[in-house]
Amino acid sequence: MRNAAVIVAALLLAACGSQPPAPEQSPAGVEDRTPRTPADTKAVTAPPPESFDPASVAALKDPRSILSKRAIYFDYDSYVVKDDFKPQIEAHARFLVNNPKFKVLVQGNADERGSREYNLALGQKRADAVKKALQLLGAREDQIESVSLGEEKPACGEATEECWAKNRRGDILHSAAREF
């Protein structure tokens, strides 16, 4: 059963492989209406889609940017930041260093298992772990606030391990993200 799932996942990833755009799908150029002779005409094209400034505010909403990924997931009953999420935290810390007027709110979350008090405490430890990692990478303490939501803001409501894993997280919310 597990091998079948791995094979299906591999086939899906292979099917989703990126292809260069066909000539008819290339980005539209900018039309210049200045009168010119045919020899002077030069096509103006948009910059390639992968060129954006990762420290810009636009990178917060750009799905190609690691900054658009704001959830840091944790193992069961743990508040240790996993290695898988360190590049994401590094990117958010770099953004805060490059944009000193920005602030983030880190919301710690837990799954529904455990008492309300325990989940609030665990959520706070998760939020604090993300905050500490951001600070160690150069973000200032006054740029980061950490709070616990415990089990009160689930990302998924089913009583399954897959769903509980989605609820064990720390969400990084940029202050400017709510303004634009």
The pLDDT value recorded for residue 26 is: 41
Q: How far apart are CA 31 and CA 45, in angstroms?
A: 9
Q: Which of 55, 84, 87, 74 is nearest to 174 (CA)?
A: 55
As a whole number, mean pLDDT of residues 50-54 equals: 51
Mean of the per-residue pLDDT values of the chain: 78
Q: How far apart are CA 97 and CA 131, in angstroms?
A: 14
| Maximum pairwise Cα distance, the chain | 76
Model confidence at 28, pLDDT cuts 50, 70, 90, reads very low
pLDDT greater than 90 at residue 164: yes
As a whole number, mean pLDDT of residues 130-159 equals: 96
pLDDT greater than 90 at residue 55: no
The pLDDT value recorded for residue 11 is: 42
Q: How many CB atoms lie within 10 A of CB 54?
A: 15
| Contact predicate 72/132, CB 8 Å | no
As a whole number, mean pLDDT of residues 9-30 equals: 44
The pLDDT value recorded for residue 53 is: 59
Q: Which two tokens stand for residue 20?
A: 């260069």
The pLDDT value recorded for residue 54 is: 58
The residues that bridge with 147 in the sheet, in sequence order, are 107
pLDDT greater than 70 at residue 61: yes
Q: How many CB atoms lie within 10 A of CB 59?
A: 17
- Residue 108: phi, psi to the nearest 5? -85, 135
Domains, the chain: 52-178 (3.30.1330.60)
CA distances from 45 to 53, 69, 110, 112, 145 (A): 18, 29, 47, 51, 42
As a whole number, mean pLDDT of residues 149-156 equals: 94
First to last CA, the chain: 46
Model confidence at 57, pLDDT cuts 50, 70, 90, reads confident
Output 28 or 93, whichever has higher pLDDT.
93
| Radius of gyration of the CA atoms of the chain, in A | 22
- Residue 22: phi, psi to the nearest 5? -65, 155
Least confident among 4-8, 89-93, 107-111: 4-8
Question: pTM for this structure?
Answer: 0.67
Provide the pairing of β-strand 144-150 with 104-109: parallel
